[in-house]
Structure 1
């Protein structure tokens, strides 16, 4: 906890240092440089969940956006409505990309759905392109190499000419939509809260925030810690699996054969990408799985998504061949994993909500992490009310053991969970939420002023900061690197330097770039800058003196 406290102070100092640099650039009329610094500040704050909103940052972005030219809005009466979904980028697989595809696919009202991509770096997935065309929409790719000001202007044109409703699915730190939508008027703006666990930008321009978990904790954080005035609910849309029992049994048999798993062996499944399983003190999924496999010698564990490392190798060594790590799979390949498994375990310290819901929908009983790994960092929500969290590690292990050895109880739990998820995340159940949103949409877009909000409880912020420090690059170093790549010439000022002196030894990990190296780089930059200034001044003086002397010599009467 002490490390987390010190780390938070450093990250807060880096974020405010970026804000100071942005303010300096604004005073000098360098608006684009200021926006780049504001976005760097948002990136640093998005590593944490303290605070969850920045009124000062939003105020500055709205002021800059208010100065952009605004085209007249092109109105389109009646239905179908033109929905414009705005994303930083979209990938073949992944949480908010999958949500967007299913939203377009399952909208029963035949609205037109278009997409605006602000910084797409890979080809747009073909399935998404086909879905968009089938719904009378277009995909608008804005060149990611454009300035933030230019991108904001292009997005504003798109919104005013091609949309009746705007939906923001953008990255938490992407300031472009806030700048683009900083003037009142135009279509209403919905912001999808797909990063409920961390800071994000856009509260001031969101007419409605869509909470996707539909949980008490998510709503509390949205209102209490983000200053959001209007919330509506839209659960993550899921596609119901259409597989007959016979087909399911056959695919499960083939799958188990391919992994050398006996047909009668109970199989535990867990899904999570990246570093979500990175061990954290008091929240070590890999270590607990070793205990499970030692206690239940007939059980198998399949984990899909994370890259192999020393932690997984240690588990493999002690599993007797009953632990199988599978590389990340395409969404289309995942159903067979759910069909072949008997029990789903959500990973931790950081859960995977979509995978957990898909497992429950497929009829798997799901075991959520113990209470030491709290939401919103792990899964909760309206369909999860049936899932009881273990109060401690021993209860968690007992629950796994019970379900592994009781097939009847597994089937009963799985059916109950499946019905619950289906009623809120699929078909008419999900469409009910979308229809309610459409019915209660504001008439016109408005911009709000924000005030300071109380911070998240240190129990939550400390948990996330400790985990974030394990999986993310040091924000101080990454900010310097990004600033240099943008041509911003970052230099540590006195306030940031004093913070690093006070908290650097306890709030930065071993192996991270030493503070003295950043300070020395800053000193070198200052010296180089001073040398260039002196050189320019000397050149100017020499040129002026030469011009003066030439003028005097041409007028000198003695030469005549």
Structure 2
């Protein structure tokens, strides 16, 4: 089986250059519309178009990791719509311990590393009160474990999009809530404009800490953040190089994990899953989108040579779901590739695993850490050049133990050695577990967090350049992004997904255009009609 060769990469780079320029053109259209609406005083509509620009730049890489121009538009919207209280100025004592932490998230869910990071943070930082503002929570419940963690800390959960209004009124409400906080931590989606508008007036905002959980993509927040918290070194370097983050405001905070305690031995866990004790279990856990078929080779295909060589091995993939492009590989291995949809009860699988194999081409660092915390050796594919380090798997607790491989043949060889050499994999797994535990859990992690709080309290408020020409990059890693992280959608999809937060006149105008052009997609129950209803109303009937 072939790997990704130089000719393929050359083709990707060529395609990437063209895609980036096309994507930047669409991004610029949204940006121009946001600017025009703002100039005409239509600030609500301008904010929505600003968010649509950010969504497009996030999911259709446009050669940018930050847009100072877009953030400036949002800051101007804030100045025009959120009055300055000249009698109020928040001051922070760098020697005082922050006691009230306000976390801001776009939405939370039971599955996914971002929500796990949030509730583990609150549970670990137990000496402080933690509240949470949800800016755009869909019609689903907050995970019980997060709800309980906040209540136990003496905090409260606020749902902005349940209140009558839209982006700007929600930003005002967020600003009001933040007035009683010592610090604000942003766990927001890359495109969320509400916190950007809320905290534009930095002199009257608490210190703002931005969690860079999507360091491989474009995001909003550089202009308002006093401290940017990076989960890994590659993201830290990119933030400084491509997002204009000053070195003194750039800090590392490892992803937090729960203290892992085995409920079952490896053989007991296998037995509970109906797997023979002698079977060598390879495991991978991630969302379906992270298992993309590349160059005609699916994730399942990449493991066929290994599984054909080692009849005692199986591959279990959780999150991939039922995939037609894996059927041939499953047949070739006599069903020893097992693919499951997303599920929450992953601990039993981690405990049964002998080897953990990372998702590809989209890495899953949280799953790597969770697997490693059970003493499972970790292997991740990285076929790119060093210039694209942001596409690889790196975390403070993985350094020195995670096995990186560039070639598919090398990948098969290292997995084969791990299958054959039990002592090697057990020793590597134990070293991995020890390093992760000493970096990502308990008081060890808390010491990193205290440094973050202290830095946020002691630095002067951040400033951002008022003018900067947007410069797109047509080199690595940018040119690989459309292939590795590209999403299949267009302007109409972006407009459709934002109809419910537009002012009614603009909503009706865009709704009718989509109907006329037969451009609505995946409308679900009630069809296009539901997009005429404002988001706050939809949230109230959850």
Shorter-normalised TM range: 0.7 to 0.9
Is residue 373 of structure 2 the alignment partner of residue 354 of structure 1?
no
Q: CA deviation at 1:55?
A: 0.9
8 Å CA contact 1:155, 1:180 repeated in 2: yes
Tell me the equivalent position of 1:478.
493
- Could you tell which deviates more after superposition, 14-23 or 52-61? 14-23
Distance 1:23 1:454 in 2: 18
8 Å CA contact 2:52, 2:495 repeated in 1: no
Q: Could you tell me which of 276, 279, 282 is aligned with 1:265? A: 279
- Could you tell which deviates more after superposition, 405-414 or 421-430? 421-430
Q: Could you tell me which of 271, 280, 283 is aligned with 1:254? A: 271
SS of equivalent to 1:364:
coil
Q: CA deviation at 1:250?
A: 6.0
Tell me the equivalent position of 1:69.
83
**Counterparts in 2 of 1:316-395, with a 5 A limit?**
316-330=330-344, 333-372=345-384, 375-386=389-400, 387-395=402-410
Deviation string, structure 1 residues 227-262 (Cα, Å, up to 9, x no partner) = 011111111100122226xx32464143342xxx32
8 Å CA contact 1:166, 1:187 repeated in 2: yes
Q: CA deviation at 1:372?
A: 3.1
**Counterparts in 2 of 1:395-544, with a 5 A limit?**
395-443=410-458, 446-450=461-465, 451=468, 458-469=475-486, 472-482=487-497, 486=502, 487=506, 489=509
Is residue 252 of structure 2 the alignment partner of residue 233 of structure 1?
yes
Q: CA deviation at 1:341?
A: 1.0
Query: Residues 116 and 70 from structure 1, CA distance in 2 versus in 1: closer, same or farther, beyond 3 angstroms?
Result: farther
Q: CA deviation at 1:284?
A: 4.2
SS of equivalent to 1:59:
helix
Distance 2:403 2:223 in 1: 36
Tell me the equivalent position of 1:35.
47
Distance 1:240 1:453 in 2: 44
Tell me the equivalent position of 1:315.
329
Q: CA deviation at 1:204?
A: 0.5
Query: Residues 208 and 5 from structure 1, CA distance in 2 versus in 1: closer, same or farther, beyond 3 angstroms?
Result: same
Is residue 132 of structure 2 the alignment partner of residue 120 of structure 1?
no
Distance 1:174 1:96 in 2: 15
Q: CA deviation at 1:281?
A: 2.3
8 Å CA contact 2:229, 2:253 repeated in 1: yes
Superposed CA RMSD? 2.4
Deviation string, structure 1 residues 86-140 (Cα, Å, up to 9, x no partner) = 00111122111000000001115x0111101111111222221111111111111
Tell me the equivalent position of 1:206.
225
8 Å CA contact 1:235, 1:424 repeated in 2: yes
Distance 1:435 1:483 in 2: 38
8 Å CA contact 1:116, 1:142 repeated in 2: yes
Tell me the equivalent position of 1:107.
125
Is residue 158 of structure 2 the alignment partner of residue 143 of structure 1?
no
Tell me the equivalent position of 2:28.
16
SS of equivalent to 2:427:
helix
Q: CA deviation at 1:277?
A: 0.6
Q: TM-score, normalised by structure 1?
A: 0.81
Distance 1:249 1:236 in 2: 25
Deviation string, structure 1 residues 519-552 (Cα, Å, up to 9, x no partner) = xxxxxxxxxxxxxxxxxxxxxxxxxxxxxxxxxx
Distance 1:456 1:23 in 2: 23
Is residue 227 of structure 2 the alignment partner of residue 219 of structure 1?
no
Higher alpha-carbon Rg: 1
Tell me the equivalent position of 1:168.
186
Q: TM-score, normalised by structure 2?
A: 0.84
Distance 1:427 1:357 in 2: 14
Q: CA deviation at 1:143?
A: 2.0
Is residue 191 of structure 2 the alignment partner of residue 178 of structure 1?
no
Distance 2:499 2:441 in 1: 46
The answer for unaligned runs of 5 or more in structure 1 is: 492-512, 519-560
Query: Residues 378 and 228 from structure 1, CA distance in 2 versus in 1: closer, same or farther, beyond 3 angstroms?
Result: same
SS of equivalent to 2:292:
coil
Q: CA deviation at 1:484?
A: 5.6
Distance 2:188 2:323 in 1: 31
Q: Could you tell me which of 242, 253, 263 is aligned with 2:261? A: 242
SS of equivalent to 1:303:
strand
8 Å CA contact 2:290, 2:361 repeated in 1: yes
Q: CA deviation at 1:172?
A: 0.1
Tell me the equivalent position of 2:3.
none
SS of equivalent to 2:363:
coil
Deviation string, structure 1 residues 486-516 (Cα, Å, up to 9, x no partner) = 435469xxxxxxxxxxxxxxxxxxxxx9xx9
Query: Residues 456 and 423 from structure 1, CA distance in 2 versus in 1: closer, same or farther, beyond 3 angstroms?
Result: farther
8 Å CA contact 2:315, 2:336 repeated in 1: yes
Deviation string, structure 1 residues 296-322 (Cα, Å, up to 9, x no partner) = 222111111112121122221111121
SS of equivalent to 2:456:
coil
Q: CA deviation at 1:329?
A: 1.4
Query: Residues 438 and 80 from structure 1, CA distance in 2 versus in 1: closer, same or farther, beyond 3 angstroms?
Result: closer
Q: CA deviation at 1:443?
A: 4.7
